[in-house]
Amino acid sequence: MVIRNVGGATGTIGAAEVARAKPDGTMLMLTSMAPVVVQPSFRPSIPYRTDSFAPVCLVADAPAVLMTTRNSGLRSVADVVARARAAPGQVPFASGGVGGMGHIAMTGLIRATGIEMNHIPFRGSGDAIIALQSGTVLMLAAEANLVKQYELHAIGAFAEQRLPESPDMPTMREQGHDLVFALWTGLYAPANTPEPVLARLEGACERTLRAPAIGEGMARLGHPIRYLGRREFTEFTRAEAAKYHEVIEAAGMRQAD
Given 130, 157, 175, the domain boundary residue is 175
Residues 107-133 have a mean pLDDT of 92
Q: Does 257 reside within a domain?
A: no
Residue 103 phi/psi, 5-degree rounding, is -65, -45
Residue 166 forms beta bridges with which residues? 163
Is residue 206 predicted with pLDDT exceeding 90? yes
Q: Is the pTM of this model over 0.85?
A: no
DSSP codes joined into one string, 141-168: EEETHHHHHTT-EEEEE-SSS-BTTBTT
Question: Exposed, middle or buried, 89 (CB in 10 Å: 0-12/13-18/19+)?
Answer: exposed
On the question of pLDDT at 257 being above 60, the answer is no
Mean pLDDT of 209-230: 90
In a domain, 1, yes or no: no
Mean pLDDT of the 93-99 span: 87
pLDDT band at 219 (very low <50, low <70, confident <90, very high): confident
Q: Output the average pLDDT for the chain.
A: 93
Q: What is the CATH number of the domain that holds 124?
A: 3.40.190.10
Q: Which domain holds residue 85?
A: 63-175
Q: Is there a single domain that holds both residue 79 and residue 163?
A: yes
pLDDT in tens, 134-144: 999 999 999 88
Please give the share of the chain, as a percent, with pLDDT higher than 70: 99
Nearest to 106 by CA among 138, 66, 58, 51: 66
**pLDDT in the model for residue 256:** 53
From 133, 156, 175, the end of a domain falls on: 175
- What DSSP string runs through the chain? -------SGGGHHHHHHHHTS-SSSSS-EEEESIIIIIHHHH-TTSS--GGGEEEEEEEEEEEEEEEE-TTSS--SHHHHHHHHHHSTTT-EEEESSTTSHHHHHHHHHHHHHT---EEEE-SSHHHHHHHHHHTS-SEEEEETHHHHHTT-EEEEE-SSS-BTTBTT--BTGGGT-----EEEEEEEEETT--HHHHHHHHHHHHHHHTSHHHHHHHHHTT--EEEE-HHHHHHHHHHHHHHHHHHHHHHT-PPP-
Q: What is the mean pLDDT of residues 82-106?
A: 92
Q: Quick check: 220 pLDDT over 90?
A: no
Q: Are residues 13 and 94 in the same domain?
A: no
* Position 168 in a domain: yes
Q: How many structural domains comprise the chain?
A: 2
Confidence (pLDDT) at 164:
83
Whether residue 150 is contained in a domain is answered as: yes
Q: What percent of the chain has pLDDT over 90?
A: 73
pLDDT at 1 over 90: no
Residues 91 and 129 in one domain: yes
The model's confidence at residue 177, banded by pLDDT at 50, 70 and 90, is: very high
